[in-house]
Amino acid sequence: MRFSIVGAGAIGCLFGARLMMASHEVTLVHRDPIVVRALKKNGIRLQDLDGTLTKVRVAIRKGPTRLPGTEVLIVAVKAYDTRAVAASYRGMIHPETIVVSLQNGLGNVETLRSGFRNEILAASTTEGALSLGQGYVVHTGRGVTLIGDARGASSDASSRVKMAFDRAGLKAETRSNIHGVLWTKAIVNAAINPLSSLTRLSNGAIIKNRGIRDIAHSAMNEGISVSHAMHIKLVGDPRKLWQRILSSTRANKSSMLQDIERGKMSEIRQLNGAILSYGRKTRVKTPVNGILTKLVLGLEESSKTTKSKVLSGFPVRTNR
């Protein structure tokens, strides 16, 4: 199959490299010319679980750009960039191209549907990936990618994408209730990402800290209550999935913590912020998710200020 992947971050590079190694045609698209130049020069450097480093040459283009011949367009950008993708790529792909949201957070499918008339699939993955630089990705943990039609219908496209992922060594399964999958994953991420960002704790350390565990469970219970009010049938118990993900990725840093450390915007608005917003609409109280949202937004502001001072040459003072 011919894939185009918008977003050359950790997940985009992991899936791009794996699909390329399985003899699929892959084109990566990224808006940052520095990233594009680095990937053109060095390709994707993929470090596997056993430490093996493989260099994978893959086509890379600066976006937005027309993508003729693309059978599957994977959107792997941060959730806050989804609206820009939907607007920028409208009319740039063939009507028969399958669009797959491979993203965290809530609302991505609805945003993509507003921009494309194509068939929209949603995918949720527990594959672990850590970026060590432009095009350098470490596969930190094997997981499973759940795929489904955003309309809830039985989809031949979902089966085709699943087979391609399986062939690339990325275990995949199809689900009819993909919205339930996305909500379950969002509730779990809302109880991992902000807590790891605020405490700087690894996934394994979060499990061991009783106080943090209590906050996490409170955040998840609020998310579960909101999903019930939204008439969303969750796929699995978020609390059990939370435990399983943290146990299998003990040494990992969450993607949100990685963003905060780099002074980048986080996906807090599409996780805890979304639960908070839906809670207001359904009159379900979500105080813990509200506090976590405000704290991480403050952390973003602090990180950006620090990064700005460093780049401008001003000294960054610390309290002693």
Catalytic residues, which ones?
185
Cα–Cα distance between 269 and 106 in angstroms, integer?
Answer: 9
Q: What does DSSP assign to residue 50?
A: T
Spell out the alpha helix ranges (H) of the chain.
10-21, 33-42, 82-88, 108-115, 156-167, 178-189, 193-199, 203-208, 210-229, 238-248, 255-261, 272-282, 287-312
Q: Give every CB contact of residue 307 below 8 A, 6+ residues apart in sequence.
A: 262, 263
Q: What does DSSP assign to residue 65?
A: -
Token pair recorded at residue 13: 């590079």
Q: Say which residue the tokens 């409170």 belong to.
A: 218
